[in-house]
Chains A and B, each alone.
Chain A
Amino acid sequence: MNEKIVLRYEVDPNDFTRAGEASSNVKRRLKLLGVDPDIVRKVAISLYEGEINMVIHSYGGIIEVIISPEEIEMILTDKGPGIEDIELAMQAGYSTAPDNIRNLGFGAGMGLPNMKKYSDEFNIESTVGVGTTVKMKVFIPKE
């Protein structure tokens, strides 16, 4: 694996039948590339939480994943209501998920904290009424 691999996925809002597809796909690719399982796990967790947030909380968007020998970069851009208070949204346990979403098992308010915890670089920007962009990196240590 010497060149960069760029993967792009469209994420539809409220489409739970496909939710997790991008993350599963990326996980499979990384496994095939022989990336260390712990690194794959970090990517899978961070990306899945981001993907699901787009499905639940946004009006849809794009996930871009750039795989290089040094790192895996994930850029999640959505159109949507945005987040008014990012600091509050980042708190463990904070969730605005409605009841029908909670009934599916979401809404612990752990998604964003998980993304921050399991990625090595985490950055979120949001504009109310426009949308949210999350950028994450997971580094691949040189053995």
Chain B
Amino acid sequence: MTVEELIKSEEFEVLNKGSNLNREIAVPYCCDLLSIAMSKMPQDAAWVTVMANINTLAVASLADAACVILAEGSRLDTAAALKAKEQGITVLYTNLPVFEAALKIYNRINV
């Protein structure tokens, strides 16, 4: 499933459509501690986290995440939202808990 297809599924609210929507999502990945996410996140992951700030975006881009899903209703502030636009990072929102958000993605990848 590509990032575009995930967006089209309308499972999640879209804050920002990033620059590379044709990217194939490899796997959902869940972690809120940035230095663990930084080193352990697989490439092209859909990163599900509650940590919604500018550092999340830095890690997402450095670790080559396919997109970021902010779970449990966490939201970026205006400055961070702008940064997501500037850097072309796809950011999606959901009120679901982390596991359930990741499971939705997992099920869509593995059909």
CB within 8 Å of B: which residues of A? 16-17, 19-20, 23-24, 27, 41, 44-45, 48-49, 52, 104-111, 114, 117-118
Contacts and interface: CB of A to CB of B under 8 A. Distances in A.
B56 A49 contact: no
Interface of B: 32-36, 38-39, 43, 49, 51, 53-56, 58-59, 61-64, 79, 83, 87
Consensus secondary structure, chain A interface? helix
Nearest to B83: A17
Contact of B36 (A48, A108, A118): A108
B61 A49 contact: no
B35 A44 contact: no
A141 B5 CA distance: 37
Contacts of A105: 32-34, 49, 51, 53, 55-56
Given A16-B54, A17-B54, A19-B55, A110 B62 contact: no
Given A20-B55, A48-B38, A52-B55, 13 more contacts: A24-B58, A27-B62, A48-B62, A52-B34, A52-B35, A104-B53, A105-B34, A105-B51, A105-B56, A106-B34, A107-B33, A108-B34, A108-B35
B54 A114 contact: no
B77 to A, nearest CB: 11
Contacts of B43: 41
22 contacts: A19-B55, A19-B58, A20-B61, A20-B62, A24-B61, A24-B87, A41-B64, A44-B62, A45-B63, A48-B62, A52-B34, A52-B55, A104-B51, A104-B53, A105-B33, A105-B34, A105-B56, A106-B35, A109-B35, A110-B33, A114-B39, A118-B39
